[in-house]
Amino acid sequence: MTPIRRVIWVVLDSVGIGAMPDAADYGDPPGSDTLGNIARQRPLHLPNLAAMGLGNIKPLAGIAPAQNPSASYGKCALRSPGKDTTTGHWEMAGIILEKPFPLFPDVPPMSRLIPGFNVVGWFALCGQKAMAPELVDRLEAAVRRAMADPTLVRRMAEGGLSPRFEAVRRSVLAAQRDRAALVTEVRAMREKVRAAHPVKAGRFGLKHSAGGMIDVEFAVQTLVLAESGTHAELLDNVGNIALLGRAEAAGLLPAGVGSAAADAYRDLRRAQHRARLDERSTQLDPETMATQRAAVLALWRVVFG
């Protein structure tokens, strides 16, 4: 028998198909069935999973059983006590728990485990490293619209999650700094990043080569940290392209340098996204991005000398 040397395991989290016998022990009502309940509420269009046999596991509204499933299918129950994601993932990897992880409200607060640690709330928007910039912009805009809703803000405040992070972020960015020391520190950080992401000789890395995307990002952040104390328009979290435009309008960049770098950054980002979607290298012939590289290097010289 040929040994299996590699397994690719894809997990769709929070897509339960039926209830465990001990569901009531964890506060779940009778009839718990995430996928089945969703199917009853709205049409499902899952042709690939249906072809693999999803509808053969149990009756699902809108998902017909496959006559000749293209994959093996089935459902299983946990041997481990517990219901959380970690328990299930560990068991998939062969680790069976003898007792469940502690659950709220019995989980000890972090402040009890780590003296001096205090958290009043957290907020994050996470995604894959290669997520399309356009999608990130849409998600961020949606979050901003939600946070502009006074009802949501009031409910967050009632739950102890007053959105104070924006004021803290602005105060940190606008703090007074020594410009020369800041430039020296950022240059050193840039060299560390460059060393950690080498580019093949004779190639231009869209992200990490000199004149690549990361040079724009370092330059913009340096402008924000150095100048936002006197130019509050740089404190808004509007993205690198918009901040370059604001910096040029404020006279912090020579005419044309900021706009050219913004156009170059947009082109580089678009090329990176296209290469990743096509599963191609993001290290290209230098001539294909010569104009964009020159624009970014011009920005770098203005900011860092």
**Cα 176 from Cα 162, distance rounded (Å):** 27
Q: Are residues 145 and 229 in the same domain?
A: no
Residue 134 confidence (pLDDT) above 70: yes
| pLDDT for 279 | 84
**Residues 185 and 148 occupy one common structural domain:** no
| pLDDT band with cut points at 50, 70 and 90 for residue 119 | low
Q: Averaged over 39-66, what is the pLDDT? A: 91
136 pLDDT band, cuts 50/70/90, is confident
Q: Bigger pLDDT: 1 or 32? A: 32
In whole angstroms, what is the distance from residue 104 CA to residue 93 CA? 25
Q: Which CATH number goes with the domain that contains 291?
A: 1.20.120.330
Residue 72 in this model has a pLDDT that exceeds 60? yes
Q: What is the pLDDT, as a whole number, of residue 93?
A: 83
Within this chain, do residues 211 and 280 fall inside the same structural domain, yes or no?
A: yes
* 152 and 194 share one domain: no
Structure confidence at residue 262 (pLDDT):
96
What is the CB neighbour count within 10 angstroms for residue 295?
25
Q: Is the dihedral of CA 249, 250, 255, 261 positive or negative?
A: negative
Q: Residue 259: is its pLDDT beyond 70?
A: yes
Domain boundary (130, 163, 196) is at 163
99 versus 146: the higher-pLDDT residue is 99
Q: Determine the Cα–Cα distance for residues 211 and 38; give it in Å rounded to an integer.
A: 48
pLDDT-based confidence at residue 222 (cuts at 50, 70, 90): very high
pLDDT for residue 130 is more than 70: no
204 pairs with which residues across the strands?
A: 284
* Contact residues for 65 (Cβ-Cβ < 8 A; gap 6+): 53, 55, 56
User: In this predicted structure, what is the pLDDT of residue 162?
Assistant: 60
Asked whether residue 30 is assigned to any structural domain, the reply reads: no
